[in-house]
Amino acid sequence: MRWKTRASTLDLSERAIVMGILNVTPDSFSDGGDHDSPAAALVRARQMIAEGAAIIDVGGESTRPGADEVGAAEEMARTLPVIRALRNEWEGLISIDTMKPETARAALEAGADIVNDVSGLRDPEMVRVCAESGCGVVVMHMQGEPRTMQVKPEYGDVLAEVRQFFSVRLADLTAAGIAEEALCFDPGIGFGKTLEHNLELLRGLEQLQVGSCPLLIGLSRKSFIGRLLGSDVLEDRDWPTVALTAWARESGAMIHRVHQVRPNREALQMVEAVMVGTVH
């Protein structure tokens, strides 16, 4: 299994990788305001790289339920200085977390290698940007849109519907000129899903892979963990996230988007030592 980004091709046949979350926003649910200056964001990025992140995912608009929409100009003002600064000192992979094609295009010009679109490339212009650039692409499933996605989400069979979405997007996006090896799929845990939907998707992760495309999973500090714990304290979700990372790796997820890099990377090391005898 390989994932082709604009800068390099990742071999994911045995070793999973960690994508570190870098929110440069004032209102993200977990770390809003912590890294909303380029200097603070760069310090955090360096820390995640030192802990073993293979990708830094830079986002300038919160996608938590009920979050206010951010215009492209503001989103670019938040993200582009960080991407440029990081690119100037690091040769690793940078991802832009955006639904806006103009932001994606500018971020790629600034040095990003991957576009992570929670809307699943609904905008035809986003498809064109990704096809023309040859970047890596994360296609996420989301029912509805961030402002309203948690208002009574309903599915007949959530596992079958997410897999069908992936299959259709794979066919449509490759027909539009995006190489299959550039595509990665994310089931969108917590995006238009109830607690029960999230657990059903996790139980069926092995059924969600389409084509030769890897699965990305974003479980870190999600609200369903808090519900299961009966706690509203975000830090209480960190070790359960590590446990779920290990579960997801065993079930086939090869890219893990997290806030805390080191413990999740170490969990992957332990799982892979047992599963395939891989010593990092």
- 163 noted as active-site residue: no
Q: Is 277 left (phi over 0), alpha (psi -120 to 50) or beta?
A: left
The tens digit of pLDDT for each residue in 214-226 reads 999 999 999 999 9
The tens digit of pLDDT for each residue in 149-190 reads 566 788 999 999 999 999 999 999 999 999 999 999 999 999
- 237 noted as active-site residue: no
Give dist(CA 273, CA 230) in Å, integer: 33
CB 171 within 8 A of CB 125: no
CB 199 within 8 A of CB 151: no
The tens digit of pLDDT for each residue in 129-140 reads 999 999 999 999
The one catalytic residue in 4, 237, 257, 265 is 257
Q: In the chain, what are the domain boundaries?
A: 2-275
The tens digit of pLDDT for each residue in 246-271 reads 999 999 999 999 999 999 999 999 99
> Under CATH, domain 2-275 is a member of which superfamily?
Dihydropteroate synthase-like (3.20.20.20)
The one catalytic residue in 6, 222, 237, 249 is 222
CB 203 within 8 A of CB 209: no
Q: Higher confidence at residue 172 or residue 7? A: 172
